[in-house]
């Protein structure tokens, strides 16, 4: 709901701050007072084209800020803000601000966060509907008619959407499999050769690192073999160092009893024998580990070079060759059993398409039934609004298969015929602005709470009518205001008397500067304004009495 509007330096408006309440709010004033400027200002905040001509003469820029109640969770506005990275705190009011410079260009803000004019237009269409001479949107857009009819008839589109997505997913799987089979068939010879080659070679993940490590170890052994042999000879044989140490220890052991200090020498020799024995063991282990077979080394190098060559050939890492072989083998298998697989997928697509068609046809029947009820409801509203010669219908027409969608296979559009014998045409084709506004009012009353913006603005909906028709318009606007905030620019006292709040738009001049202002009327001022609307330039006692009767009656 619109709660406030702040305008600065827009044409004749120097500074204006307005507060709005719920229910039906009316705006009145003499012709030329500036009602269109007020609507243009609001339109600017809601994303209308930024015209530098709106900037008040002599000022550098104009600005408009519109404040709305905090958007509800799940409301389209909430989704728009989230999609565009605009953060507002829960319960925080939504403030849309637009600045237009006199030398061209504009800036837009949502809660002081910069945004695009396109986002303002999307937010504006979700927050406010303006109907009349200046802004023909909302119900006139056929793209929204289907959703309105579904809401009115409580038509459940969930089953149709589920069937549609299942059908399209099956169709996508079929298309992918068909493309895969066709591609694989073109590459049959290559795949056959590649799979045979990789199967014979039998690469394994991690094999390259294993071969490279073994090859490096054997190459190192080749370099160290002569030195190891020389060192080993120092240990082995009867003349080797270890044998000499053992022989010395045995001789010393026989004489140590005769001279006590030799015990320490014998202990040292024993330790040397033990250490030398361990060294000999480690030396033998190293020699065994570094031993190499020239034939084995050659085989390892050949395998390693071939492995890397295959990897370069197929443009993958050596460790990925095994997976590549399996992938190519799967493609070959797809060629072998491709036709049987495609037949199964085609059967699945046909079954899911039939399920979608059945669900969509059931939805179409619900829509046609709802359309009949809506047509009758709108027809009941036309005569009191002086549209008794007009006819309304809701078209539910089948679309081409390529146009079928999650919402079904129907095109839904509201059409009217304004005169007997005249053909039906879209709502937007109506020539008369007042007639158009009354038609939209009839539709809004019939649709009641079925979606749309929370705030509805009707601009001179009573143009060219009076008496009972104006009273009927006022009654219907009042009825709509139970569920929506309604603002109406009116010249009709019957409509003005219905308002929960009343604002007077007036133009003043000090001889050099002309300004437009808006004044919220008290109860007494309101009676005087309605009396003016009844009598014209000179307010008579009879007009005041009639104004009093209108207000008391309502």
> What strands, in cross-sheet order, belong to the sheet with 106-110?
13-19, 2-10, 61-68, 94-101, 106-110, 113-115
Residue 490 lies in a domain: yes
Q: What is the pLDDT of residue 369?
A: 95
Residue 409: DSSP 8-state? S
Mean pLDDT, to the nearest integer, of 421-441? 75
Q: Enter the pTM of the model.
A: 0.62
Does residue 133 share a domain with residue 8?
A: yes
Q: What is the pLDDT of residue 425?
A: 87
| Domain CATH for 488 | 3.40.50.300
* Structure confidence by residue, pLDDT tens digits, 226-241: 566 656 666 665 666 6
Mean pLDDT, to the nearest integer, of 128-141? 64
Q: Which residue has the higher pLDDT, 337 or 42?
A: 42
Say whether 181 sits in a helix, a strand or coil: helix
* Structure confidence by residue, pLDDT tens digits, 82-115: 888 888 888 889 999 999 999 888 999 999 899 9
pLDDT of residue 135 exceeding 60? no
Residue 30 lies in a domain: yes
Residue 254 lies in a domain: yes
Q: Is the separation of the CB atoms in 269 and 241 below 8 Å?
A: no
CA distance 37 to 515: 11
CA distance 489 to 26: 6
- 70-77 CB contacts, 8 Å cutoff, 24+ apart: 70/94, 75/126, 76/126, 77/123, 77/126, 77/127
| 176 class by beta-carbon count within 10 Å (0-12 exposed, 13-18 middle, 19+ buried) | exposed
Does residue 230 share a domain with residue 128?
A: no
Does residue 18 share a domain with residue 135?
A: yes
Q: How many CB atoms lie within 10 A of CB 233?
A: 12
CA dihedral 266→272→278→283, nearest 10 degrees, is -140
* Structure confidence by residue, pLDDT tens digits, 364-396: 999 999 999 999 999 988 888 888 888 899 999
Percentage of residues in the chain with pLDDT exceeding 90? 27
Residue 341 lies in a domain: no
Q: What is the pLDDT of residue 168?
A: 95
For 477, list phi and psi in degrees, rounded to 5.
-65, -40
Give the total number of structural domains in the chain.
2
**Residue 81 CB contacts under 8 Å (≥ 6 apart), including other chains:** 71, 87, 88, 110, 123
Q: How many CB atoms lie within 10 A of CB 498?
A: 28
Does residue 215 share a domain with residue 153?
A: no
Q: What is the pLDDT of residue 286?
A: 67
Q: pLDDT category, 134, cuts 50, 70, 90? A: very low
Q: pLDDT category, 36, cuts 50, 70, 90? A: confident
* Structure confidence by residue, pLDDT tens digits, 199-226: 999 998 988 888 888 788 777 766 666 5
Does residue 463 share a domain with residue 511?
A: yes
Residue 288 lies in a domain: yes
Does residue 112 share a domain with residue 11?
A: yes
Q: Is the separation of the CB atoms in 66 and 46 below 8 Å?
A: yes
Q: What is the pLDDT of residue 359?
A: 95
Does residue 122 share a domain with residue 57?
A: yes
Beta bridge partners of 395: 413
Q: What is the pLDDT of residue 104?
A: 84
Domain that holds residue 132: 2-157+408-520
Residue 550 lies in a domain: no
Does residue 195 share a domain with residue 144?
A: no
Least confident span in 32-41, 164-173, 407-416, 519-528 = 32-41
Q: Where are the alpha helices (DSSP H) in 46-91?
A: 76-83
Residue 399 lies in a domain: no
What is the average pLDDT value for the chain, to the nearest integer?
84
Least confident span in 106-120, 127-141, 305-319, 488-502 = 127-141
Highest mean pLDDT among 214-223, 239-248, 312-321: 312-321
Residue 405: DSSP 8-state? B
Does residue 138 come out as left (phi exceeding 0), alpha (psi in the -120 to 50 range) or beta? left
């Amino acid at each position: 709901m619109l709660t406030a509007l702040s305008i600065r330096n827009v044409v004749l408006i120097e500074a204006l701050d307005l507060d709005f309440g719920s229910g039906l709010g009316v705006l009145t004033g003499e012709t030329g007072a500036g009602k269109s400027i007020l609507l243009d200002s609001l339109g600017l905040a809601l994303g209308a084209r930024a015209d530098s001509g709106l900037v008040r003469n002599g000022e550098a820029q104009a600005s408009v800020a519109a404040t709305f109640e905090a958007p509800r969770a799940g409301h389209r506005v909430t989704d728009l803000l989230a999609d565009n990275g605009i953060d507002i705190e829960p319960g925080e009011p939504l403030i849309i601000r637009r600045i237009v410079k006199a030398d061209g260009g504009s800036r837009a803000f949502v809660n002081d966060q910069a945004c695009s004019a396109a986002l303002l237009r999307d937010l504006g269409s979700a927050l406010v509907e303006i109907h009349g001479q200046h802004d023909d949107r909302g119900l006139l857009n056929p793209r929204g008619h289907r959703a309105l009819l579904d809401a009115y008839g409580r038509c459940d589109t969930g089953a149709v959407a589920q069937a549609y997505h299942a059908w399209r997913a099956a169709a996508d799987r079929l298309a992918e499999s068909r493309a895969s089979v066709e591609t694989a068939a073109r590459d049959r010879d290559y795949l056959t050769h590649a799979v045979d080659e990789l199967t014979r070679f039998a690469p394994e993940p991690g094999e390259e690192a294993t071969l490279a490590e073994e090859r490096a170890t054997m190459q190192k052994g080749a370099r160290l073999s002569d030195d190891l042999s020389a060192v080993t000879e120092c240990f082995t044989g009867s003349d080797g160092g270890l044998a000499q140490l053992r022989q010395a220890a045995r001789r010393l052991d026989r004489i140590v009893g005769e001279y006590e200090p030799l015990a320490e020498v014998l202990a040292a020799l024993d330790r040397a024998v033990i250490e030398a024995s361990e060294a000999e063991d480690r030396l033998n282990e190293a020699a065994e580990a570094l031993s190499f077979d020239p034939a084995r080394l050659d085989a390892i190098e050949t395998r390693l070079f071939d492995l890397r060559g295959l990897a370069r050939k197929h443009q993958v890492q050596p460790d990925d060759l095994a997976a590549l072989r399996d992938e190519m083998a799967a493609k070959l298998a797809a060629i072998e059993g491709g036709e049987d697989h495609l037949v199964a997928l085609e059967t699945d697509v046909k079954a899911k398409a039939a399920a979608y068609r059945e669900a969509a046809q059931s939805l179409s029947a619900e829509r046609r039934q709802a359309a009949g009820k809506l047509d009758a409801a709108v027809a009941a509203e036309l005569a009191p609004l002086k549209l008794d010669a007009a006819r309304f219908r809701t078209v539910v027409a089948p679309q081409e298969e390529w146009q079928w969608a999650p919402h079904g296979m129907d095109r839904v559009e509201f059409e009217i015929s304004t005169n007997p014998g005249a053909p039906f045409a879209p709502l937007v084709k109506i020539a008369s602005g007042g007639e158009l506004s009354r038609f939209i009012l009839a539709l809004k009353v019939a649709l009641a709470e079925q979606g749309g913006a929370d705030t509805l603005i009707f601009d001179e909906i009573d143009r060219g009518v009076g008496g009972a028709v104006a009273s009927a318009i006022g009654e219907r606007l009042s009825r709509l205001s139970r569920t929506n905030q309604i603002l109406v620019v009116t010249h009709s006292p019957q409509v003005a008397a219905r308002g929960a709040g009343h604002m007077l738009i007036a133009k003043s001049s000090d001889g050099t500067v002309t300004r437009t202002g808006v004044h919220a009327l008290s109860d007494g001022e309101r009676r005087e304004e309605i009396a003016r609307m009844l009598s014209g330039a000179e307010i008579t006692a009879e007009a005041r009495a009639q104004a009093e009767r209108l207000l008391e009656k309502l």
